[in-house]
């Protein structure tokens, strides 16, 4: 990769998608802290521009200590990328 291009379009989408998912996870678990355990990205349509996509996070399941979540990035032509993530929930002292 060249010095002038820090991320490819697909990497930019992945970054925006995981940010969207994390924001949603933090809101769902507040005031507890969430720490990423694992994440998987699936690219459905390569070459889309992150600025043209809608990022939609979701929560699949939440336990006392684990949050299973994910989301998608979609545009006019359909889904460009999906992701699944697992977060550890750390309760904050009262």
Q: What is the pLDDT of residues 27-84, one digit of tens each?
A: 999 999 999 999 999 998 877 788 889 999 999 999 999 999 999 999 988 999 999 9
CB 72 within 8 A of CB 53: no
d(Cα 37, Cα 68) in Å, to the nearest integer?
10
Q: What distances in angstroms separate CA 77 from CA 2, 9, 80, one per listed residue?
A: 29, 16, 8
Sequence-ordered strand ranges (E) for the chain? 33-43, 54-62, 66-75, 78-90
For the full predicted model, state whether its pTM sits above 0.85.
Answer: yes
So where are the chain's domains?
Answer: 9-90
Per CATH, is 9-90 categorized as 1.10.260.40?
no
d(Cα 56, Cα 77) in Å, to the nearest integer?
16
């Amino acid at each position: 990769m060249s010095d002038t291009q820090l991320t490819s379009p697909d990497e930019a989408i992945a970054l925006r998608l995981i940010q969207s998912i994390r924001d949603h996870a933090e809101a769902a678990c507040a005031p507890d802290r969430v720490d990423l355990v694992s994440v998987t990205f699936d690219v459905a349509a390569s070459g889309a521009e992150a600025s043209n996509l809608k990022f939609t996070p979701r929560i699949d399941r939440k336990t006392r200590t684990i949050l299973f979540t994910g989301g998608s990035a979609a545009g006019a032509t359909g889904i460009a990328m999906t992701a699944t993530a697992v977060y550890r929930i750390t309760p904050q002292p009262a």
